[in-house]
Amino acid sequence: MSIAIADSWTELDLDAMGAKARLIGFDLDNTLARSKMPMHDDMASALAALTHLTQVAVISGGRYELFVRQILTVDAFRGDAAYANLHLMPTSGTRYYRFEDGGWRLQYEQDLPEADRMAARESLERHARELGLWEAHTWGERIEDRGSQVTFSALGQQAPVDAKEAWDPDNAKKNALRVAVAADLPHLLVRSGGATSVDVSGRGIDKGYAVRELARILGIGVGDIIFIGDRMDPNGNDYPAAQAGVMPVRVHGPEETLEVVRRLTGILRG
């Protein structure tokens, strides 16, 4: 199902969306923060303030440990956020954490069988080499087994942000790898992830699954959720949330996200 998504948040009626919303969801990398980097203090403060006004979810392809580093340990966030209203969904929503009894507790997980994870790792490496995407120099782990998701990062997990953003600006490299791996693994979901990554997970387990599950758990409609992300194109990993029926907001980096958060905060306070 094809979804028409505004290219800029300035084209949207945020007043109407904010009045309807019962939860505001976010992608993490290049939405709340630059890839693998902690949120800036202004974003952290704005997001913390938002948690006092409504339910907030973060749904990202990254592992839980990145949520801790990029969000939870940022001083401007951890001292002010209303954790009871915060929902953390790492690895594209295949895991879900809530704050209970003084800590973050795993609510569910959707791990892949070991045989599927091994097949995903083999296919990703083989096709990356065939396509000339197996770079000679990388920063950190290139293929990461996240249990519920296997992720290929062309430049390594710890690559500098500038190098990541310059590697595949038109997404052609990632899309070629995605198509090749998907042909090997038709029973699994293969999606373009972040700036240099391709993710393999269970079919039907994506950000669309995540927002539907969250809506069910909270007793709200998927259409009552605003979801904000930078990868709202049909090959992007935020697009399934739009297909599920959320109110989608496309942003082009954390600076735009901050503007949207401040605007929604004003609407909710009003």
Residue 242, helix vs strand vs coil: helix
CA distance 94 to 81: 24
Q: Which of 111, 139, 133, 108 is closest to 200 using CA atoms?
A: 111
- Beta carbons of 143 and 123 less than 8 angstroms apart: no
CA distance 191 to 199: 5
Options 7, 15, 29, 224, the catalytic residue: 29
Is 129 assigned to a binding site?
A: no
Options 15, 27, 145, 206, the catalytic residue: 27
Active site residue 75: no
- Beta carbons of 192 and 236 less than 8 angstroms apart: yes
CA distance 112 to 101: 29
Residue 109, helix vs strand vs coil: strand
The tokens describing 188, both together, are: 């699994």
Is 2 assigned to a binding site?
A: no
- Beta carbons of 35 and 256 less than 8 angstroms apart: no
Element (H, E) at 71: none
Is 238 assigned to a binding site?
A: no
Active site residue 29: yes
The tokens describing 67, both together, are: 């949520």
Look up residue 111 and give its DSSP letter.
Answer: P
Is 199 assigned to a binding site?
A: yes
Backbone angles phi, psi at 82, to 5 degrees: -90, 90
- Rounded to a whole number of angstroms, the distance between the first and last alpha carbons of the chain is 35
Annotated binding site for alpha-D-mannose 1-phosphate: 146, 197, 199
Q: Which residues are catalytic?
A: 27, 29
Annotated binding site for Mg(2+): 27, 29, 230
Annotated binding site: 27, 29, 146, 197, 199, 230
